[in-house]
Amino acid sequence: MSSAHPDKDVRIFFKECVSLANNFHPAGFDVEVHLILSGVEERTDQNVRIHSVEHHGGSRLKRMWSTVNNVYRKAIELDGDIYHFHDPELLRIALKLKRAGKKVIYDVHEDVPKQIMDKHWIPKWFRGFVSNMYGLFENKRANKLNGIVTVTPLIEERFQKVNENVQMVANYPLLSETNKINDLIVPKKKNQICYVGGLFPTRGVKELIQALEFTDAQLILAGTFSPASFENEVKKLKGWSKVSYLGQIERDQIAEVLKSSVAGIVTLHPTRSYKESLPIKMFEYMSAGIPMVASNFEYWKEIIDSSECGVCADPLNPKDIAGKIQDLLSDPEKSNRLGGNGLKAFHEKYNWNAEEKKLFTLYEKLIHQ
């Protein structure tokens, strides 16, 4: 169930739902997977039955009330055994489902209390209070649920303090996506680097464009700017002349961008939530066989150094970012070696096939409780 995520969300639909519908075969049980979303086309896709409730756009508060209530009514109507939800706003109905005799799983995609501390639209003096109050509410609800799924070890550690049934299921890429990338025949562009994702200040977009002034690199940039004023700001930078901006692109186009780039960039700012995150971009770069230039966070550095698949830079220092980019551009042998190491690590460890088994283990446990 999701009241806020889009149709065909990669983690929810392509990974979890499709895996459960097609690869989960618990002894003695038949499996039906239903996905409840808002404002989508109702259909059956890859053996997942997709249901739509009325979408309340425009107002976040209206969505959190009316859409959530609609999701609950549809969930009760379907009369399932296990309910797996993906939005903090659905915590409001989680215990109602539990009281109705259902087994309920909360999939925690982000450390929301830490995210709140970085929300610039909340007055700084008020963030600590909001963060603490939300954390208490989330912990109290999580304590009463049947299971918690998390995406990083640090979020897993946090929830293990309030629930004994916590399973980390990392958001690593699908092996099938890698095959698509590797099957592409796209000429490598000598000085092309790429960044695909959300384009807002804390993602390090401004510093990356400033870094272009000090390199031979051409940047392929894709995604949606937020706020709109930020787009106007970065387009005035000198480095923008070296940017090819594609806007929002489809997954097939993403594969082409990755395949034709010398390196991928993931220089996010050192916010509380980013420093402990596992951005899927890191692993998509591995799956494409290209090295990455990443923020020098201790957690990320351990992964990159242990796999020898990229280099780290100070995300707030454009000249440091530029130096690391230029190093990869000027040494093709090194770039190819790091990219090959990343591809090897992806196949051995950082792919969805390994993670779906963890999800199945949790479901098996709940089935027999």
DSSP, residue by residue, 50-93: EEEE----S-HHHIIIIIHHHHHHHHHHHT-SEEEE--GGGHHH
Q: Is residue 4 domain-resident?
A: no
In single-letter form, the type of residue at position 188 comes to: K
134 and 188 inside one domain: no
- For 130, the token pair is 């909001």
160 and 213 inside one domain: no
210 and 87 inside one domain: no
Q: Quote the domain boundaries for residue 20.
A: 10-171+352-367
| Best CA proximity match to 366, nearest among 105, 155, 186, 184 | 105
167 and 180 inside one domain: no
224 and 262 inside one domain: yes
Write out the DSSP string of 229-267. Answer: HHHHHHTTSGGGGGEEEEES--HHHHHHHHHT-SEEEE-
216 and 204 inside one domain: yes
Q: Which residues contact 86 (CB under 8 A, 6 or more apart)?
A: 1, 2, 4, 5, 12, 107, 109
195 and 56 inside one domain: no
- Token pair 């700001």 is at which residue? 233
What is the separation of C-alpha 119 from the centre of its chain, rounded to a whole number of angstroms? Answer: 18
Name the pTM for this structure: 0.88
- The conformation of residue 289, written as its DSSP 8-state character, comes to T
Q: Is residue 275 domain-resident?
A: yes
Q: Beginning with the edge strand found earlier in the chain, give each strand of the sheet holding 292-295 in spatial order.
A: 243-247, 218-222, 192-196, 263-266, 292-295, 310-313
- Token pair 């990392």 is at which residue? 170
What's the CATH code of the domain at 113? 3.40.50.2000
Q: Which residues contact 22 (CB under 8 A, 6 or more apart)?
A: 46, 47
Q: What is the total residue count of the chain? A: 369
344 and 213 inside one domain: yes
Separation of alpha carbons 254 and 258, rounded Å: 6
Q: Is residue 179 domain-resident?
A: yes
Compute the C-alpha angle 219/220/226, nearest 5°. 100
52 and 96 inside one domain: yes
pLDDT value at residue 235: 97
Distances (CA, A) of 173 to 58, 286, 356: 32, 9, 11
Q: What is the pLDDT along the chain (369 residues), one digit of tens a residue?
A: 999 999 999 999 999 999 999 999 999 999 999 999 999 999 999 999 999 999 876 677 777 889 999 999 999 999 999 999 999 999 999 999 999 999 999 999 999 999 898 887 788 899 999 999 999 999 999 999 999 999 999 999 999 999 999 999 999 999 887 776 766 666 667 799 999 999 999 999 999 999 999 999 999 999 999 999 999 999 999 999 999 999 999 888 898 999 899 999 999 999 988 998 999 999 999 999 999 999 999 999 999 999 999 999 999 999 999 999 999 999 999 999 999 999 999 999 999 998 999 999 999 999 988
pLDDT value at residue 184: 66
pLDDT value at residue 273: 86
- Name the domain count of the chain: 2
Both ends of the chain: CA-CA distance in Å? 22
pLDDT value at residue 118: 81
Q: Which residues contact 54 (CB under 8 A, 6 or more apart)?
A: 38, 39, 66, 67, 70
- Residues 4-17 as b or e (16 or more Cβ within 10 Å = b): bbebebbbbbbbbb
Separation of alpha carbons 198 and 186, rounded Å: 25
Q: Is residue 5 domain-resident?
A: no
Q: Bridge partners of 48?
A: 33, 45
Q: Which residues contact 152 (CB under 8 A, 6 or more apart)?
A: 111, 168, 170, 276, 277, 278
In single-letter form, the type of residue at position 176 comes to: S
Is the previous residue joined to 332 through a cis bond, with omega within 30 degrees of 0?
Answer: no
188 and 288 inside one domain: yes
